[in-house]
A and B are shown apart, each in its own frame.
Chain A
């Protein structure tokens, strides 16, 4: 990331962007004449279907990949004399 983005912030704050889920919540609230809070549950329920929450195989894969990265990082820090305390690790 560091090489992709310059170490200045202003530029990035000019970019307009929208959260897709927020847009959907606002749309539903508008259509139904209800509050954002009331609109959210139905929209969230639909939105979660587009996310791989119920795909344990996929989840395990990404979790394992990230855990490996963290383990490597932990070893690197330990070599530097930094105590990495994750006492619950098996």
Chain B
């Protein structure tokens, strides 16, 4: 049994807040640079340049890449041979709180969804997964809400065709349209239950943008980029940087499909203790 002090978790989370908020992910930067290189629409190119300049400016001046520093979502993969000395969830929220304060991020969290109230920095959303081993991996995804608001879920019939599913994903992107800061990264969860499909769609955003996409992912990306929405929705050939799909076994009676869209400022950072 490996023992980890809660204070160590807090410090690690505070550092994740800094890394995720100031430094755009390397794979996202590369994808944006590639988009900039191939884009033919003049205004779209200007916008992609501003997006790249923004990432560089944020890094240089320790500024949040986007003012919407998100609802922090923390994925916890905890080894079954790890013992936490202290309160794990309190330690994570403390790390979030300290990080958001220290790095001048935005207090975007209201204490109650209906009563609202004065916004604060926490609590974050936590997803916990128990795995083998004696390590703990923490991943922070500060999710901006312009794009989170465009999430969708549809419970398809089990006999639905791939074409119907593709149409649903493309429709979700079209409905996000100009609003949610394209070029997007599209997370899709297929299978499981309604809640699990939603979680998979979000987790799909954590996957590194890299070669090796499935045929369905490639086809969807091509079709999404043909919509012509473009950067900031002002036209162009780059509407999405990537489509990432996660699947899971499901029930004979159903076929849940969830879409979680990320803006171009897709931020996340991980640490293993």
Chains A and B bind each other: no
* Interface set of B (CB-CB < 8 Å, partner A): none
* Interface set of A (CB-CB < 8 Å, partner B): none
